[in-house]
Amino acid sequence: MFEFQVEATSGAARSGLLTLPHGRVETPVFMPVGTQATVRTLSPRDLMTVGASLVLANTYHLHVRPGEDVVATLGGLHRFMGWDRPLLTDSGGFQVFSLDGFRRVDEDGVEFQSHVDGARRRLTPERATDIQWILGADVAMAFDHVAPGRADEPTARDALERTLRWLERCARRHRELSDGGTVGPSDRQAQSVRPSDRPTVRQTLWPILQGGTHHALRTEGLQRILEMGAWTGLAVGGLAVGEPKPAMYETLQALEPRLPAALPRYLMGVGFPEDLVAAVERGMDLFDCVAPTRNGRNGAAFTPDGPVNIRNAAHREDPRPLDSGCDCETCTTFSRGYLRHLFVAEELLGLRLLSLHNVRYLIRLAAQMRAAIRAGDLPRWAADWRRRYTQPG
Amino acid sequence: MFEFQVEATSGAARSGLLTLPHGRVETPVFMPVGTQATVRTLSPRDLMTVGASLVLANTYHLHVRPGEDVVATLGGLHRFMGWDRPLLTDSGGFQVFSLDGFRRVDEDGVEFQSHVDGARRRLTPERATDIQWILGADVAMAFDHVAPGRADEPTARDALERTLRWLERCARRHRELSDGGTVGPSDRQAQSVRPSDRPTVRQTLWPILQGGTHHALRTEGLQRILEMGAWTGLAVGGLAVGEPKPAMYETLQALEPRLPAALPRYLMGVGFPEDLVAAVERGMDLFDCVAPTRNGRNGAAFTPDGPVNIRNAAHREDPRPLDSGCDCETCTTFSRGYLRHLFVAEELLGLRLLSLHNVRYLIRLAAQMRAAIRAGDLPRWAADWRRRYTQPG
């Protein structure tokens, strides 16, 4: 369980196989984001048809609504959302640090106001670990302190140091739970969780490396994480949070040779096609992003020839599919003209069909890179892909 | 083609088989409504999984957006919406007569303002027939004059008389088109329709009987429609438009013995479960209604034990499916607690899952009645059904 095997490499890029309690995950892999225990507009059956192998859900959102206790009573997160393949939950760190003006941070944790009802709540490393344990995803993430992308060195160091201290607390709590400990009292209704309702949890905890775009901080942080114990995976956080894109690529590039080859590497929050390709080239394995569903709902579709805005009048009578090489339901069934009609007529099916395609696009993109890595051919593949993706339409 | 065979009866109720160019339809049958060439929130694949055999689309809506010419250029309505089973289009009559204050009726037709852009447009019997021919559904409906449900006898007679005169014009136009005639100039862009883009149309035209709740008018109208020619089906319009429910049932009951047994009978706009059952008992065969999708989007689900409002707090931790006897994706995958969460969290998947279930519910209800009719057992089945559906939860 929680094993990872690198099966092939091409430069720094790797293809691997991650074994989790609910199934195997071939890497590189893109994880669709099911913020509120649903990948927006898509059903679990849709996710199966587009080949999703690992889905992310947001601890912060599920904590404030419906509450982890409700999820537990309804059989845990897998059963709740009807997804019996692997799941990963983030820790809520990113979300609470995004509630700028509505949160107060101290060494113990973060006090924040719920975006749903304004209620004051508190997340600590221990609570975030408890909540994720109750949700029961295959992979839980450590509760981290996220600094803005352009943070200076002292701010980034503060975030890194606190994240490391919190990581120790998360790891301790997770060990207690794995050893049969019970979760601490929840901040509202611990009574309603009947332990018998909770399925047996088999879960691993992954640390998050902070340090902004400061290479020395990243190196130091990595070393201290690795010294802390034996991990089954490692996440790189605090990127794609407002820093310039070249700075993100350089940070990954500098970090990569220092990363232990044996651990799966999860680059958090990254999912635009060009970033996915650049990050795989820099040795990253797992990715998540709301871009495919959010953009899809806005009428923006990923295609091998670059983004397409389906609302554009040019598509009015266009009989072609969105992406002629795509095997998704949207592309094998409907014309661009019909998809445009759905958006112009404000039909909900349009949001769904573009979300479905975009998720399929990123999952296929990761699978194509996997194939290129196994063929030892990623550099040429990536050059071809970039030429086509960026050429003016 | 366009054949209908009654295979069994139980009292006035019938089970039959309707053969259309795009497939066979077992009756009684419920038609989901795809107003804008999409059954709201559902994909054609969803419609297949819930057993839809015939889908309705709205001529008025497709005429104003995207325009029948766009649909024709994109291969006709079947190809446009990705549905290769039978389709029926209404004539737009009901919609334009609903545009109260935004339409002017004269003997030639109806001038109205589009709800989309306020543009003035005109529908006549000939235009409505042309548009439906261009759309290319299996069944087209005659352009009718719809009076309100509580209209007095003179008003209802006016509507009936005009509908009969318009029926002659629709039938003449439809004959011309079937004989190879070309459609008249459209009110905006006839040039853009290239005849070669249009698939061969095999379409039948059904008349609509008006007459409100005035039995003598219905009888007279029916006789005059039948004298007009040989039809392949017959619609009963002008019911479920605001009249008291008992008046609708009595009108159907009085009409039924006079209806020719050989024609399929389509009761327009009816689709609440109790009305479906009552109308099948009174010899009706086909039904359409937006209720399953509209109610579904509002969180109201049909179940054998009566309607369920999924937003209700009672469902918060309810692990049961919406309808334990239902075989749809919603009921076989998700708990009421999860469905409630989707609605409370305003997730689009909720709208879709309840729409899917409600459509499946009505299609199954029709199929159950069909089975009961074939078993010669409809009265007992209906009594059992009513007892359960109306018993206090």
Residues B347, B324 share a domain: yes
Task: Give the pLDDT of residue B191.
Answer: 40
Residues A349, A224 share a domain: no
Give Cα A111 distance to the centre of its chain.
24
Find the CB nearest B348 among A41, A335, A338.
A41
Name the domain count of chain B: 2
pLDDT in tens, B303-352: 999 999 999 999 999 999 999 999 999 999 999 999 999 999 999 999 99
How many contacts does A have with B, using Cβ atoms within 8 A? 119
pLDDT in tens, B351-377: 999 999 999 999 999 999 999 999 999
Q: How high is the ipTM of this complex?
A: 0.96
Which residues in chain A touch residue B75, judged by CB atoms under 8 angstroms apart?
319, 335
Whether A376 is covered by a domain: the verdict is: yes
| C-alpha distance from residue B56 to each of A292, A374, B20 (Å) | 32, 50, 14
Q: Which of B289, B308, B333 is the last residue of a domain?
A: B289
Task: Give the pLDDT of residue A197.
Answer: 47
Whether B390 is covered by a domain: the verdict is: no
Task: Give the pLDDT of residue A119.
Answer: 93
Q: Which residues of chain A have pLDDT under 50?
A: 187-197
Domain extent, residue B62, equals 4-289
A23: domain CATH number is 3.20.20.105
Q: Which residues of chain B have pLDDT under 50?
A: 187-197
CB contact under 8 A, B80 and A335: yes
Complete edge-to-edge strand list for the sheet that includes strand A23-27:
A4-10, A13-20, A23-27
Angle at B60 between CA B180 and CA B62, to 5 degrees: 75
SS3 state of residue A140? strand
Residues A169, A73 share a domain: yes
> B358 Cβ partners below 8 Å, 6+ apart?
B291, B292, B293, B295, B296, B301, B302
Whether B9 is covered by a domain: the verdict is: yes
Residues A115, A94 share a domain: yes
Residues B323, B232 share a domain: no
| A341: closest CA of chain B, how far (Å) | 6
Task: Give the pLDDT of residue A101.
Answer: 86
| A351: closest CA of chain B, how far (Å) | 9
Q: What is the mean pLDDT of chain B?
A: 95
Question: Which of A176, A172, A93, A89 is CA-nearest to residue A138?
Answer: A89
Whether A377 is covered by a domain: the verdict is: yes
Residues A307, A276 share a domain: no
Which residues in chain A touch residue B65, judged by CB atoms under 8 angstroms apart?
341, 344-345
Task: Give the pLDDT of residue A182.
Answer: 85
Which residues in chain B touch residue A44, judged by CB atoms under 8 angstroms apart?
333
> What is the H or E stretch that residue A267 is in?
strand A265-267
| B29: closest CA of chain A, how far (Å) | 24
Q: Which of B289, B318, B346 is the last residue of a domain?
A: B289
Residues B340, B245 share a domain: no
Q: Which of B272, B289, B306 is the last residue of a domain?
A: B289
CB contact under 8 A, A66 and B38: no
Whether A392 is covered by a domain: the verdict is: no
Which residues in chain B touch residue A82, judged by CB atoms under 8 angstroms apart?
333-334, 338
Residues B306, B285 share a domain: no
Whether B311 is covered by a domain: the verdict is: yes
Whether A390 is covered by a domain: the verdict is: no
Residues B283, B302 share a domain: no
pLDDT in tens, A292-342: 999 999 999 999 999 999 999 999 999 999 999 999 999 999 999 999 999
Residues B349, B226 share a domain: no
CB contact under 8 A, B345 and A75: no
Residues B301, B277 share a domain: no
Tell me the C-alpha distance between B359 and B366, whole Å.
11
Tell me the C-alpha distance between A347 and B66, whole Å.
13
CB contact under 8 A, B192 and A317: yes
Handedness of CA A325, A326, A329, A331 (dihedral sign): negative
Task: Give the pLDDT of residue A185.
Answer: 64
CB contact under 8 A, B37 and A341: yes
Which residues in chain A touch residue B79, judged by CB atoms under 8 angstroms apart?
335
Burial class, A86, CB count within 10 angstroms (exposed 0-12 / middle 13-18 / buried 19+) = buried
| A80: closest CA of chain B, how far (Å) | 6
